[in-house]
Amino acid sequence: MGSHKQAKTVFETDSVIVKYTLAITEVGLWKSEQDLILKYFLNKQANLLDLGCGAGRSSFNLENLGYKNIYAIDISKKMIDTARLIQKQIHNSKIVFENMDASNLKYPNAHFNYAFFSFNGFSGIPKHQNRIKALNEIYRVLKPNGIFIFSIHPWNQQKYQQRLKKENISKTTEFEIERYGDLIFKNEENLYDFFHLYSDTELKQKLSSVGFRVLDIINRDTNYSEDQQVLSFADNTNFWICQK
């Protein structure tokens, strides 16, 4: 795949769309997500960008927390179509859902106070150049001192090398391993998926080169006791809190 211009096949399947739709009410915002959002996204009238929103798990629940100006994007048109259908059932929902690529945002400079990229969405972007483009784009659309919160898998070199050996996939029609940290794997639907695992050192360097300051790194399971629904939905993750 030359560039990240189309959704991963895995996010276009009916079963995954159903899973993400159910997650809106059955999972909702995790305790960790809600806590960090309320701590750092202080102005509920401000413009908030929800990246990789899926069917709206984070978006609708951010609106329930009282955030008034939410723009929610996903590269999967099917996910956005689903989110818009759900929105029609919700009285007075004002979220603006758009089918958009995080590495090519159609927003003006300095438009958002806050950006949120949940559930390891950033590290799931195939190709190094597209992840860097996404960071640059998020930086561009944030206002000065704007806050960006995202989550990624914690780095464990031994586990990574074991998983790489176990999966033993270097290329598919959709993905290819291009650098250390890349992983192609088959998910529970038996479909190929991709993510890049970052060491803290690598990610700090990438964020710094774009212009972000890292305010904090929070490990979910060390700091929060999440409900069983959350633990079943998502493995442990690190939240990175950054400022422009």
pLDDT digits (tens, 9 = 90+) for 5-57: 566 777 788 888 888 888 888 889 999 999 999 999 999 999 999 999 999 99
CATH of domain 9-243: 3.40.50.150
Residues 53-85 have pLDDT tens digits of 999 999 999 999 999 999 999 999 999 999 999
Split at pLDDT 50, 70, 90, the class of 3 is very low
Residues 114-160 have pLDDT tens digits of 999 998 899 999 999 999 999 999 999 999 999 999 999 999 999 99
Contacts of 93 (CB under 8 A, 6+ apart): 60, 63, 87
Length of the chain measured in residues:
244
The candidate with the shortest Cα–Cα distance to 185, out of 108, 235, 124, is: 124
* Distance, C-alpha 6 to centroid of its chain: 16
Residue 49 structure tokens: 């960008």
Q: What is the pLDDT of residue 77?
A: 94
Task: Quote the CA–CA distance of 155 and 160 in Å, as a whole number.
Answer: 8
pLDDT surpassing 70 at residue 1: no
Domain segments of the chain: what residues? Answer: 9-243
CA 31 vs CA 37, 154, 234: distances in Å? 10, 18, 13
Q: What is the pLDDT of residue 10?
A: 73
Task: Quote the CA–CA distance of 167 and 67 in Å, as a whole number.
Answer: 41
CA 237 vs CA 63, 218, 223: distances in Å? 23, 8, 11
Q: What is the pLDDT of residue 7?
A: 66
pTM (predicted TM-score) = 0.93
The burial of 34, by beta-carbon neighbours within 10 Å (0-12 exposed, 13-18 middle, 19 or more buried), is given as middle
